Structure 1
């Protein structure tokens, strides 16, 4: 408990008392609605594809084709199992994310401060809350200093309320935010018994907005569904006119509808997003909304804080500038008696229970350099929290003898502005501050006041202060940060540094970290005079933004968004909340981030490593590219299925019903896992992170990409129909022709899935990318195909016969020609790229 200076009498619960309380009151959680496996299954059975399968099964039962009916029911079970597996895998991934999103709470138990998951808080616990943390249970304050809380989530009032153990209202409530200081509160209510728990379930579930890609995919599937209904009616009507058989024509129509319906696309999208988020979680990146995975790959600008993101946030006190003697002291000379006053007042101006790294350092330096520690003798009786532009803070202490200490610290400009110094003296100090800044140091000014009255001014700036000197911290850049920014720049992403520090220090650290174009610097005050329109070009060209406050951060983010940039904003403080919320991707730091920052962010980096954001961007690009590959594969393979079902019928060929529902459903069972699970597992193509980001408003398939997929599908169709005619010309009966067409289509499907692994690199290059699911799925498909061809009961059921070795070779040759021509197109594309006439993708 030493690091928090908690009063010794606050011991907290013993392990036995915790157990007793939990047995009586339960866990600190508001239970959300969980869908059971049965409910998930019911949702799956509402899918259009399964409804079609049910309809076909019933027709087969009515006409007495019990074998086909049984197969359809088996297909229903198989499709349901695959969907249930995918849904369950996605749900498990999201539940794991939910667990990681749960904040840790600080609790005093058995005399020790420990961190534990919030749901483990029990009634009677002593919880510690501090600036920027969310309060996670209802209770009453037993100890505090400089503590204020924002209760807007309950009251709607946006201002902060100061509270302590002696206040008329010393209650704190779950879901509210600690704005300043620290408090220890004893837990009275948890879970559903808290005020926020009683308000209702609505507060615990926030509906996610659909991403642009989700909307585009939904629209595409909707139009394909409408097309399926129209084609179903056409085929049913045409077939009925031709045959006069209602059942046979209805089966033809339903077969057609099954071949048109692209139900794999929304399944693939959901699988990609959920598994993408789960994989990022394993990398230490918690994604709060799965749709953000897609947006990550489009990031064009990263706005980053300096302290703790670019730097280590170690805040080592390196130097002290003592103003009365006009001397600079290095850290090995901090014991010099001349520094006693400066060190004392630097410590007294800090929080009595420090949580800021600089204040913790000042307390340690005080402990190690002062002969007598008098902190327990003095009590904080009046204070002015950190405020102003630039900010400062003032604390007033006194002891039993009414001896008073009034100490202030803050941004050097703020402290100089309130100090009794001449302009010449201030200029001398400013020159020293500038020099420290250029060396990359973080500088704070320290001052004292001898105010004797009790009618304290409303504003701390109205005290008369004596300037004591400067405390000089060094927060070095993180190891390897230069390489991180190189990766970001290589990916075509801009970097903006938005910090509360001064211009000189920021410029020095930015240069050490490898950030480019740091000549122009804008301060928060500079930006106040601009309209939003005028701010756009400034936000676009400027890299360093210093002395920034919440409104200024928000203005920069909004200006960049208005320019069309996709903005990732990194922040950790209470003041970063608005900008994190406004950015396309709000990113909070897991270790040093405040709860309010984590609540506002869409992404949390658990170990505060900026390199993880690069990992996230790469994952976003990989997932987006793989979704496109999966969708192009689905479109390309659906075209030959649709045309093979319909053209023999419409053209009056000898065997008009070459495929029945059993053949189409077999294809669907092969395609489903390929497009969702297999393509999702595809690794990122080389040079992906050397390309500029895509535009967020791009459609998931542009006209050129759609045209390529359609052409691929039409060429495969030509090959399959050629196989049909070849079999007929060589005296093949209906079963032989069906086997030839079916086998050619299966071979084409397997080759297409391999060719479409990359739309730039060759098939041989793609085979080097490790994806064990491809050989597994292709191997299983071949086993099933040969079982259907050569095991008599299966062959009879599918109404085809085994092919001879030459026929198999011809089917494979036709499939190869129908699919592998695309490798020549890719070769031509690479040739153009080599000559600089086309982009990589």
Structure 2
């Protein structure tokens, strides 16, 4: 943890004071957030249309005195609600685990010790420390500060930062605001829903999270199916009543058909896939803020990466120093040379007193090693100009008790050259040095000093009269596995853009070393901001490297890519990346070296900063989307034969019009539910999935061709089932035997379909190579239940079936196989 130079009188709460504060004011979280308790979940499940249908059927059975059927329906109600409850609970637990992991840590002083605690444990009276890049997590008053500025846009809408200290008129800081520079210690006055943000939060709590395109499409599809189910139910009820004149019998027939039409497994499957997908990624070290992001990940078409800390290690080793006076470049071996004393000192003085940035930390370390006399304790910062300008620079003014003053500046070499007392000829020679260093992938900072008396400081730092001192040359090497990572990204059909604050030469060199494909010159941030939206879209299509980018320029490029129809993943770790991270479809922050502002703005955090994890996330997104499609196609295909087997014998006036009753339909539903939502969710990624182009976000979850295939699969299974029906009738079978053959054929077809649809491209034999231990379990359980129904008299009587002989069983098996496995020939032709 960072070492803080905090005044000794700031001791913070003692253990006793902490207990008193927490018992009086509670914990730092909003009371307005409604927790999804188990009974709320159960009530939501009991409102599901399928459960309401089951309850209606159970009531009818009780009314007519069919108590065994009523008991079965009660069991079915418990089973269906149990499956839904289990899935919802898994989803809830997965999302709670993500929420817990997402909670930031806060730094506080307690018992005179600086410690880190979960943010919800902040108590009223605590002394909180906030520094550059951190989010403020409670309301309070500043008691100590050092060059502290804060962005309060989340409360005021003003985008510029405000300087505050214990001496300014406004000493208050607020939860949800962002520390832009320096450090402050504040005493906590309000927490949780009592903070300014908490009070606003109460009013916005009811605003629902935006739903993903897939979610909207699935909801619409299920609603249409429910409407169709209602219409068909009324038609069948009326037709059956006209035939039988029995209101109860006709109502049961109508309800049976309504149950067979309703695809209630689809929304359950969607929720389960997304929540469990996010939970599995969490175990891989990828924290997803919203489970719907998982779906978007698989559609990523372009990755915008910041250079420092994302492509590179962000280790910022000082590689060389260029001293202007001696006109020499000094390598690491010679940093102790007396000529460098002034350059090193002023490079350090121009950094933050409590450094946050890796380069500034390095400069402080080099100063300690190279200077025999450490003067940092003797000087206090009296004025500061924070990082600004395009390209940026910063200036610090220090003074000691005797009035001696130090004015030090550092920044982009072009910015420092522009404000230094140098002739154009001298500047040209220095620009050659900048270019030479940049071409080797080095990061360069210019350093300058100034003599200034009096306290009427100029409004802008650029108005000082600076003497140029030299360059600090850093090397931030690309991460070790970065070339393989970018190769995988390109193989997946995803474009890469580098959006960085560094200069063009350095960015070009690092991009080349990292294996980024680039055939066009870099574009500078200052150029971007003056172009129209149409011109920016053209830039976004052709340019790979964007250099000297500031927050507004980064944001403009992300928006241009989005307008061009790209699905944008933005990778960043700094304060200046936050707007672009927020605007991108997927904002990706680094967990170790990323600022809290970046993590708060992002929708996904990579805990160990390994970019390869993003590939894991994209692969997971593609796997989950493909598996949802497989599950939905399976559900549609198996629902069609159930619907038609219930309705056609009735409408066509066949000998056994009520071949299926509610107990048969609900048994099939109980088999299908776990198959689609538990088994398909567990399917591994198909081979070559990461060698395909990303799907379009606007694409419907089932296009016409895919829907047609599912319908054809369903109709051919129906033909097989009805063929078995007629075959049994023609050979003189009674109703129980006919029902047993039809039911068995449909169960076998269900098993074959679940296996065939594991891949809609590769053969069933290829699918066996994919490890999914749940498939044999579910298939084994289904077969065990089928044989129990056929051959255990108690169950056979209940289901109104009879045991089949070997030839009847064989016939059902072969017809089921033929009605499904034709799809293997279709897949073979597709592969060819």
CA distance in 2 between counterparts of 1:58 and 1:606 reads 53
Query: Separation in 2 of the partners of 1:81 and 1:252?
Result: 26
SS of aligned partner of 1:560: helix
Say if 1:232 and 1:254, in contact at 8 Å, map to a contact too: yes
Contact 2:29 2:192 in 1 (8 A): yes
How far apart, CA to CA, are the structure 2 residues paired with 1:811 and 1:164? 82
Instruction: State the alpha-carbon separation in 2 of the partners of residues 682 and 199 from structure 1.
Output: 43
Q: Provide the C-alpha distance between the structure 2 equivalents of 1:194 and 1:291, rounded to a whole number of angstroms.
A: 29
Deviations 1:558-611 (A, max 9, x none): 111121111111122222222222211111222222222222221111122211
Partner of 1:696: 697
What residue number does 1:806 align with?
A: 807
How many Å apart are 1:8 and its aligned residue? 4.3
Higher mean C-alpha displacement, 2-11 vs 205-214? 2-11
Tell me the distance in 2 between the aligned counterparts of 1:223 and 1:131. 52
Alpha-carbon displacement from aligned partner over 1:177-208 (angstroms, at most 9, x marks no partner):
11221112222333234333344523456521
Q: 1:408-437, CA deviations, whole angstroms, 9 ceiling, x for partnerless residues?
A: 000000000000000000011110011110
Distance 1:171 1:528, change over 3 A: closer
Matched position secondary structure for 1:309: helix
> Which moved further from structure 2: 166-175 or 301-310?
166-175
Aligned to 1:738: 739
- The aligned residue for residue 194 of structure 1 is 195
Distance, in Å, in 2 between the alignment partners of 1:488 and 1:156 is 37
1:270-419 alignment runs, 5 A limit: 270-419=271-420
The answer to whether structure 1 residue 28 and structure 2 residue 40 are counterparts is no
1:4 corresponding residue in structure 2: 4
Q: Which position in structure 2 is the counterpart of 1:548?
A: 549
Of 586-595 and 471-480, the range deviating more from structure 2: 586-595
1:443 paired with 2:444, answer yes
Correspondence for 1:675: 676
Aligned partners of 1:510 and 1:518 also within 8 Å: no
Name the SS for the 1:242 alignment partner: helix
Counterpart-to-counterpart distance in 1, 2:322 and 2:206:
53
Deviation at 1:554, TM superposition (A): 1.5
Whether the aligned pair in 2 keeps the contact of 1:297 and 1:621 (CA below 8 Å) is yes
In structure 2, C-alpha distance between the alignment counterparts of 1:724 and 1:437, rounded to whole Å? 79
Q: Which residue of 2 aligns with 1:91?
A: 92
* 8 Å Cα contact 2:320-2:331 kept in structure 1: yes
SS at match of 1:115: strand
How far the C-alpha of 1:128 sits from its partner, in A, is 1.5
- Give the SS at the match of 1:228: helix
Q: Cα distance, 1:519 vs. partner?
A: 3.9
**What is the distance in 2 between the residues matched to 1:700 and 1:203?**
31
Alignment-derived partner of residue 243 in structure 1: 244
Q: Report what 1:536 is aligned to.
A: 537
Q: Answer with 767-776 or 202-211: which moved more.
A: 202-211
CA apart distance, 1:827:
1.4
1:838 aligns with: none
Q: Give the distance between the partners of 1:365 and 1:819, measured in 2 at CA.
A: 72
Of 579-588 and 634-643, the range deviating more from structure 2 = 579-588
- Alignment size in residue pairs: 831
CA contact (8 A) 2:311 2:482 kept: yes
Between the aligned partners of 2:401 and 2:548, the Cα distance in structure 1 is: 40
Cα distance in 1 for partners of 2:536, 2:359 equals 33
CA-to-aligned-CA distance 1:498-522 (integer Å, 9 cap, x gap): 0000001111111111101154210
- 2:310–2:573 Cα contact (<8 Å) kept: no
Q: Which residue of 1 aligns with 2:225?
A: 224
Per-residue deviation at 1:174? 1.5
**What residue in structure 2 maps to residue 836 of structure 1?**
none
Greater shift, 321-330 or 195-204, is seen at 195-204
Measure the CA separation in 2 of the matches of 1:694 and 1:819. Answer: 28
Q: What is residue 74 of structure 1 aligned with on the other side?
A: 75
| 8 Å CA contact 2:520, 2:542 repeated in 1 | no
Partner Cα separation in structure 2 for residue 555 and residue 165 of structure 1: 37
**How far apart are the structure 1 equivalents of 2:8 and 2:611?**
39
Offset at residue 125 of structure 1 (A): 2.7
Alignment of 1:117 onto 2:127: no
SS at match of 2:98: helix
Q: 2:56 matched to which residue of 1?
A: 55
TM-score by length of 2: 0.98
* C-alpha contact 2:529 2:556 (8 A) present in aligned 1: no
CA drift at 1:153? 2.9
Residues 193 and 202 in structure 2, CA contact (< 8 A), matched pair in contact too: no
Deviation of the 1:623 alpha carbon: 0.4
The CA RMSD over aligned residues, in Å, is 1.5
SS at match of 2:311: coil
Q: SS at the partner of 1:731?
A: coil
Distance 1:615 1:210 in 2: 24
TM-superposed deviation, 1:113: 3.3
